[in-house]
Amino acid sequence: MNLQSEQQAKETGMQVSLKEAKKILTPQRRGFLAAGPYPYTHSLSAYVGCGFGQTTCGLYCYAQFLPNWTFGTGGAAWGKAVQVKTNAADLLAHELARMPAQERQKLRIFMSSTTDPYQPTEHSYRATRRCIEIFSAYPELDLLVIQTRSPLARRDLPLLTQIPYAYLSVTIETDDQAYLKKMQGGPLLEQRWELVRMASELGIATQITVSPCLAYTDVAIFGQRLLTSGAQRIVVDTVVDGDGSHGSRTARSPFARVEPAWDTTIPAHLLYNYLTEHAPAQHIELGWSVAGFCGIAPRAQRAL
Ligand code: SF4
């Protein structure tokens, strides 16, 4: 950790600890990543905990309720501690190398479901970067989705251009910066739009996840911005449809305490309907909730 990062960690009160993981590719047999139409085979998290946990998304983030968080970090508040899996890239290299090539070709990996791979800690520890370097040596996988809301992903765009099966998926849950700020903030929306634009201009497959759809400015304004962002796919989700418990998990989350309209799905449906009407003309693929997240076709079909 460099001096600047140490200073940042002190200022934010973030506890950063290091751990050696036993495995890095986690098979997906149930849960939202294993759903149809095109399930993921594995998830990959190079961190435990998430440095965005004290921002708006931490209000409803389901990862804070999972046991690996509670067991791993000694009861720290969500967003106040992060464990770095220092051997993530070594494990990935080992696990990929020992797989037969035919098995590697079937790999569909979601990075990450319980942390943001480009959270602030990645600035100095580069655990995500090192994993992506490993992927760049294996051209035959089916899919690698890198899910983030962090502008730090810009750093690795040149590397992503070398991975033909990579999809950069950027969370843009609203177009209303004032609303986001009023909640608990988060990475600036303009920087996320810029990340999508840059990735798409470099030829990287790019997706935006409006997940969960929060209050936005206007359906046509947000809808048009999404449709002209450069993203090839757009997924819209709600906390009711996508939290894995039909909203009961979110009902117990801090989000339900600060947002009286937390369980309304009407804005999300209005946005999805708007996109459905206008996306086909622009050849943009749309998805709703879990089926949208698991809606990226196998690579042979994507190339058609
Ligand atoms: S970035 Fe993702 S994993 Fe991190 S706190 Fe927000 S929702 Fe949770």
Using most ligand atoms within 8 A of CB, pick from 33, 110, 149 the residue to mutate for ligand 1: 149
| Residues 265-290: tens digit of each pLDDT | 999 999 999 999 998 888 999 999 99
Residue 147 Cα, ligand 1 centroid: separation in angstroms? 10
Query: Looking at ligand 1, which atom is closest to the CA of residue 148?
Result: 1
Confidence of residue 304 (pLDDT cuts 50, 70, 90): low
| Residues 220-264: tens digit of each pLDDT | 999 999 999 999 999 999 999 988 889 999 999 999 999 999 999
Distance (Å, whole) CA 244 – CA 22? 27
Terminal C-alpha separation, the chain: 44
Residue 103 Cα, ligand 1 centroid: separation in angstroms? 30
Residue 4 is predicted with a pLDDT of 45
Residue 55 Cα, ligand 1 centroid: separation in angstroms? 9
Distance (Å, whole) CA 180 – CA 191? 14
Query: Looking at ligand 1, which atom is closest to the CA of residue 50?
Result: 4
Contacts of residue 4, defined as CB under 8 A and 6 or more positions apart, other chains included, come to: 124
Of 195, 230, 216, nearest to 274 by C-alpha is 216
Give the SS3 label for residue 170: strand
Residue 70 is predicted with a pLDDT of 63
Nearest CA to ligand 1 atom 1: 116
Number of domains making up the chain: 1
Residue 41 Cα, ligand 1 centroid: separation in angstroms? 21
Distance of CA 9 to the CA centre of its chain: 22
Residue 181 maps to which CATH number? 3.80.30.30
Nearest CA to ligand 1 atom 3: 115
Name the residue with higher pLDDT: 11 or 238. Answer: 238
Cβ < 6 A, ligand 1 pocket: 50, 52-53, 57-58, 61, 63, 115-116, 149
Residue 294 Cα, ligand 1 centroid: separation in angstroms? 19
Residue 14 Cα, ligand 1 centroid: separation in angstroms? 15
Of 295, 301, 299, nearest to 39 by C-alpha is 295
Of 271, 255, 296, nearest to 33 by C-alpha is 296
Residue 180 Cα, ligand 1 centroid: separation in angstroms? 14
Residue 76 is predicted with a pLDDT of 86
Domain that holds residue 175: 3-302
Using most ligand atoms within 8 A of CB, pick from 115, 146, 214 the residue to mutate for ligand 1: 115
| Residues 139-177: tens digit of each pLDDT | 999 999 999 999 999 999 999 999 999 999 999 999 999
Distance (Å, whole) CA 68 – CA 74? 11
| Residues 84-129: tens digit of each pLDDT | 999 999 999 999 999 999 999 999 999 999 999 999 999 999 999 9
**Res 2 pLDDT > 60:** no
**Res 67 pLDDT > 80:** no
Residue 191 Cα, ligand 1 centroid: separation in angstroms? 17
Confidence of residue 3 (pLDDT cuts 50, 70, 90): very low
Q: What is the DSSP letter of 241?
A: H
Using most ligand atoms within 8 A of CB, pick from 32, 56, 61, 174 the residue to mutate for ligand 1: 61
Residue 7 is predicted with a pLDDT of 46
Confidence of residue 72 (pLDDT cuts 50, 70, 90): low
Using most ligand atoms within 8 A of CB, pick from 43, 57, 250 the residue to mutate for ligand 1: 57
Distance (Å, whole) CA 145 – CA 287? 15
| Residues 17-61: tens digit of each pLDDT | 999 999 999 999 998 999 989 999 999 999 999 999 999 999 999
Residue 244 is predicted with a pLDDT of 83
| Angle at 20 (CA atoms; ends 45, 145), nearest 5 degrees | 15
Distance (Å, whole) CA 9 – CA 239? 30
Query: Looking at ligand 1, which atom is closest to the CA of residue 53?
Result: 5
CB atoms within 10 A of CB 19: 15
**Res 11 pLDDT > 90:** no
> Could you tell me if 19 and 48 are in contact, meaning their C-beta atoms sit under 8 angstroms apart?
yes
Confidence of residue 75 (pLDDT cuts 50, 70, 90): confident
